[in-house]
Amino acid sequence: MACAKCSFYVPKGSSRAQAIEGKANLLCMLQEVPLTEDERAAVEDGVTAFGRLLEGLADVATPDGETPRQLARDRERRPEPFA
């Protein structure tokens, strides 16, 4: 089993939500929990690993065939609805 830090790790598309939640939890820990320098370095390493994992998932197709990166581009191109 490969870990998310390995360069050859290929995540499943279904792990995107878990990766987002994990990264958010680590960022929350950095803000709310007093950490030693070593603990802070370990948490920051985890945040970096989740960032790379999520970047890799940006090009994994969703069930409808588009990637998250394509969906984000489509959202940016749509005109804002009138309020």
pLDDT, tens digit (0-9, with 9 covering 90-100), for 28-82: 999 999 999 999 999 999 999 888 888 877 777 777 788 878 877 877 777 766 6
CA pair distance 70, 6, nearest whole angstrom: 26
Alpha helices (H) along 1-83: 16-32, 37-57, 68-77
pTM comes to 0.60
